[in-house]
């Protein structure tokens, strides 16, 4: 028989052993996401839309660096869907990454509802990320913040703010977003623009019927606040500004930056920015606001606002002060802000920029036109708008790339996505013959060896019109080592790269008729989507897939799929 002392000792040993399996700070956190239809009224319109747990925006996920987050996604709605954890690298585990027909088939709707237990594997991410639907245009109402705090024993690399506030920029369409998507894909023209923008789901009091629908933040004079800013807007880069207050950027895409002081922010769809501001102005009410930066095409020119309200005794102004924005079309304002971002890059947060490149890729990003029978399309010249990378318009397969790769199914994709565009021309000249603009449909992947050191230059083209492209890579963060306007020049530009403290990001706006160079090490085996985060551009085909091969070591191989992987 075991004595009490021995029993006690065994239990104690058991705790030590179990605790030793994972790093001491890692915890498992569980969430339950039920997808359903719910009613929401904004700007004098009531509509039914898809939401998680009936909430709009959806629930916030909280975790600490290195945790495992398990989300049970239950589809009780009437549409198929997938959910993506934007910016989470998911080391060796693309199975729960989420992009529809890239890493999974959709979670189908049924009665009582199909479910998928998604293991969201955090590693070095720390800061703000978000999650969103990754099928069709459902992310318009299916999204939320994903906040990753430092481990319990660590602090921020800046003084702890008095309070932290997630600010999610979203957009509101009076119509059904799915119908808007189907219409523009059918006509070949541009999609309808949004009817308004939202701060944490609220349009703000500059819109009709919205005085109650305004996000408010009460602040104490002298205190510092952290805003965790997420751009969840469908089709626009946004300027964000707080009247009379400067901000200090401290992180982007869940990686710390050198403090960057500015009086405005430009943020791409997909991107996140953590910023601090001090309530150091005369006690009053001030607007925080966001509106579009657009380098081309139609856009929603409205302004969403929230109110920063100082506590204390004062006579509030009739209307709060409104910030003044850069002009809608100020590419300079957008690019200047983004190109000032720098990694924190200190002893505690070192960086590791690849220097000897094994793979040098050059990808053109184009909006294209394709002729339609009897000139029947709604795009320019009565043709159909399309988009491409290296002149290939992505066609998603009917089963997913990841399944096809893992099970060695043939006929799902080809492996010839080119490292360079098929033909070379002056990408950014003012007018380009339309015949150069014909893209090819393809389901091609680009294969990278494990630990390949990759430099990828994105080159915007002016084919059917130049515009910024916020490019997003799944499974990785990358260093943004350079960018500029006009055509990239292999002799002139690389010597100017920043290899000392480039920002570490997973979404970067390639400027209108310009280029951006990124570097990363392909140390995460799997199947990873890369696409423009403008929803209309990815719907037009501006996406491609990387397959990163397994490495030789036991810890360098993709893990097997979970048992409840959705089937096509
Ligand atoms: Cu924010 Cu492919 O996604
Ligand atoms: Cu784009």
How many domains does one find in the chain? 3
Q: How far from 497 is each of 244, 353, 403, 490, 516, CA to CA, in Å?
A: 35, 11, 38, 11, 10
Residue ending a domain, choose from 115, 149, 183? 149
Distance 542 CA to ligand 1 centre (A): 12
8's enclosing H/E stretch is helix 4-21
pLDDT at 14: 40
Indicate whether 331 and 392 sit together in one domain. Answer: no
Helix (H, G, I), strand (E, B) or coil at 296: coil
Indicate whether 86 and 25 sit together in one domain. Answer: yes
Residue ending a domain, choose from 149, 184, 218? 149
The answer as to whether 353 is a domain residue is no
Residue ending a domain, choose from 304, 339, 374? 339
Distance 88 CA to ligand 1 centre (A): 10
pLDDT at 2: 42
Indicate whether 388 and 318 sit together in one domain. Answer: no
Indicate whether 365 and 495 sit together in one domain. Answer: yes
pLDDT at 112: 72
Distance 150 CA to ligand 1 centre (A): 24
Contacts of 306 (CB under 8 A, 6+ apart): 167, 199, 200, 202, 204, 214, 215, 216, 217, 287, 288, 289
Q: Which atom, in ligand 1's list, is nearest to the CA of 507?
A: 1
Q: Cα–Cα distance between 258 and 344 in angstroms, integer?
A: 4
Distance 466 CA to ligand 2 centre (A): 10
The answer as to whether 347 is a domain residue is no
Q: Which atom, in ligand 1's list, is nearest to the CA of 474?
A: 2
The answer as to whether 502 is a domain residue is yes
Ligand 1 pocket, residue 529 CB under 6 Å: yes
Spans of the chain below 50 pLDDT: 1-24
Task: Give the pair of three-digit tokens for residue 293.
Answer: 């930066």
The answer as to whether 154 is a domain residue is no
Indicate whether 199 and 315 sit together in one domain. Answer: yes
Ligand 1 pocket, residue 99 CB under 6 Å: yes
Indicate whether 138 and 108 sit together in one domain. Answer: yes
Nearest to 141 by CA among 70, 36, 213: 36
The answer as to whether 156 is a domain residue is no
Indicate whether 190 and 48 sit together in one domain. Answer: no
Ligand 1 pocket, residue 139 CB under 6 Å: no
The answer as to whether 57 is a domain residue is yes
What residues make up the domain containing 402? Answer: 359-556
Indicate whether 105 and 239 sit together in one domain. Answer: no
The answer as to whether 274 is a domain residue is yes
pLDDT at 11: 43
The answer as to whether 344 is a domain residue is no
pLDDT at 25: 52
Ligand 1 pocket, residue 537 CB under 6 Å: no
Contacts of 518 (CB under 8 A, 6+ apart): 455, 456, 457, 458, 473, 478, 479, 480, 481, 508
Indicate whether 326 and 473 sit together in one domain. Answer: no
Q: How far from 232 is each of 186, 296, 309, 441, 490, CA to CA, in Å?
A: 25, 20, 25, 28, 34
CATH number assigned to the domain comprising residue 45:
2.60.40.420
Indicate whether 364 and 475 sit together in one domain. Answer: yes
pTM of the model: 0.94
Share of the chain above pLDDT 90, in %: 89
Nearest to 533 by CA among 244, 284, 238, 299: 238
Indicate whether 92 and 177 sit together in one domain. Answer: no
Indicate whether 252 and 297 sit together in one domain. Answer: yes
């Amino acid at each position: 028989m075991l004595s009490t002392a021995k029993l006690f000792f065994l239990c104690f040993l058991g705790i030590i052993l179990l605790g030793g399996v994972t790093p001491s700070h890692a915890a498992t956190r569980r969430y339950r996401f039920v997808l359903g239809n719910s009613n929401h009224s904004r700007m004098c319109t009531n509509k039914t839309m898809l939401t998680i747990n009936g909430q709009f925006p959806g629930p916030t996920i909280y975790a600490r660096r290195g945790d495992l987050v398990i989300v049970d996604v239950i589809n009780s709605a009437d549409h198929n869907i997938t959910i993506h954890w934007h910016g989470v690298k998911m080391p060796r585990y693309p199975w729960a990454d989420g992009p529809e027909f890239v890493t999974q088939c959709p979670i189908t709707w049924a009665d009582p509802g199909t479910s998928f237990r998604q293991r969201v594997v955090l590693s070095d991410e720390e800061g703000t990320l978000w999650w969103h639907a990754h099928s069709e245009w459902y992310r318009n109402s299916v999204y939320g913040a994903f906040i990753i705090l430092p481990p319990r024993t660590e602090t921020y690399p800046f003084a702890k703010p008095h309070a932290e506030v997630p600010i999610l920029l979203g957009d509101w369409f009076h119509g059904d977003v799915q119908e808007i998507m189907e219409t523009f894909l059918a006509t070949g023209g541009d999609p309808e623009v949004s009817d308004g923008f939202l701060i944490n789901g609220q349009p703000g009091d500059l819109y009709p019927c919205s005085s109650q629908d305004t996000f408010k933040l009460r602040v104490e004079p002298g205190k510092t606040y952290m805003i965790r800013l997420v751009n969840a807007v469908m089709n626009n880069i946004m300027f964000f500004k707080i009247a009379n207050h400067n901000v200090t950027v401290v992180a982007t895409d869940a990686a710390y930056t050198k403090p960057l002081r500015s009086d405005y922010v430009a943020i791409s769809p997909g991107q996140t920015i953590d910023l601090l501001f001090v309530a150091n102005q005369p006690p009053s009410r001030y607007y925080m606001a966001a509106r579009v930066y657009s380098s081309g095409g139609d856009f929603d020119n409205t302004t969403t606002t929230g109110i920063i309200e100082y506590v204390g005794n004062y006579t509030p102004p009739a209307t709060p002060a409104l910030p003044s924005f850069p002009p809608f079309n100020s590419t300079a304002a957008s690019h200047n802000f983004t190109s000032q971002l720098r990694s924190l890059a200190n002893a505690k947060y070192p960086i590791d920029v690849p220097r000897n490149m094994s793979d040098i890729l050059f990808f053109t990003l184009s909006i294209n036109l394709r002729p339609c029978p009897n000139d029947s399309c709604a795009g320019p010249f009565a043709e159909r708008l399309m988009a491409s990378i290296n002149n290939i318009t992505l066609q998603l397969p009917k089963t997913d790339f990841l399944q096809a790769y893992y099970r060695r199914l043939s006929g799902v994709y080809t492996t010839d996505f080119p490292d360079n565009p098929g033909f070379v021309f002056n990408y950014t000249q003012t007018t380009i013959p339309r015949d150069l603009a014909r893209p090819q449909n393809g389901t091609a992947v680009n294969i990278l060896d494990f630990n390949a050191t990759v430099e990828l230059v994105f080159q915007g083209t002016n084919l059917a019109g130049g515009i910024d492209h916020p490019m997003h890579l799944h499974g990785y963060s990358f260093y943004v080592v350079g960018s500029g306007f006009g055509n990239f020049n292999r002799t002139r530009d690389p010597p100017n790269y920043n290899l000392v403290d480039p920002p570490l990001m997973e979404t970067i706006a390639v400027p209108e008729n310009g280029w951006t160079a990124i570097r990363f090490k392909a140390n995460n085996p799997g199947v990873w989507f890369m696409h423009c985060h403008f929803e209309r551009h990815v719907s037009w085909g501006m996406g491609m897939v990387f397959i990163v091969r397994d490495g030789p070591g036991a810890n360098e191989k993709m893990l097997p799929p979970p048992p409840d992987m959705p089937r096509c």
